[in-house]
Amino acid sequence: MPRSWLLLDTPRKSLPWTLSRRLSDTAREYFVDRGERFELNAILPDTRRIEYIERKLEENGVRGKVIPPEEALAERREKMYREKVEGWVDEAITEMLDVDELKNKMVEEFQERFGLEAAREWIEKGFEDDRTQSWRGVLKAKLEKLYEDEHSGDLRDSAREYVQESVKGDEDEDE
């Protein structure tokens, strides 16, 4: 059934009960009792279709664009503004730093410290503790625990140092 049909009712295809019970008397009369089909795509050209829809909306009391009340607008504009500025800052940082290079550098620097060669042992131990876990779940949990217990401070410090060096390098190039 094409999506362009506003609403249909024929003897062969009736409205679902859940939809039918939500219709107003007017809607029920128009869409159910009449048993007529109306296809919006039949109105050509497109401009006439839009004009028709706008005219029918206006005739039926549908209002134009709405601006939220001042209190709601204040809250929403602040949220929207914050999201926009945060996005612009993210873009600026991404432009200044090669984030992928930073991530790769941290992966290489900390790989040995995390002791990944013991992964099989971690997984087997995890299965002993709880057979319902997947090996991926066990491995992720172990890496999280190692990070939290042993490496979070060092990793943050290394990342901070990289960022500072990158920014300092950009400043030196600008001079």
25 assigned to some structural domain: yes
Does residue 56 sit in the same domain as residue 103?
Answer: no
**Residue 103 and residue 168 in one domain:** yes
Q: Is residue 60 a part of any domain in this protein?
A: yes
What are 8-23's pLDDT values in tens digits?
444 445 667 777 778 8
Contact 135, 123 (CB under 8 A): yes
* Whether pLDDT at 171 is above 90: no
**Max mean pLDDT range (25-29, 36-40, 163-167):** 163-167
User: Does 51 reside within a domain?
Assistant: yes
Same domain, yes or no, for 58 and 122?
no
Please report whether residue 80 resides in a domain: no
Residue 53 pLDDT: 85
pLDDT of 123 higher than 90: yes
Residue 2 domain boundaries: 1-64
State the pLDDT at residue 7.
Answer: 46
- Position 69 in a domain: no
Q: Are 102 and 52 in a shared domain? A: no
For residues 86-107, give the mean pLDDT: 90
Segment among 52-66, 88-102, 145-159 with least mean pLDDT: 52-66
Q: Is residue 118 part of a domain?
A: yes
Same domain, 46 and 114: no
Total domains in the chain come to 2
Q: Is residue 78 part of a domain?
A: no
Mean pLDDT of the 64-74 span:
88
Does the structure show a pLDDT above 80 at 137?
yes
- Within a domain: 166: yes
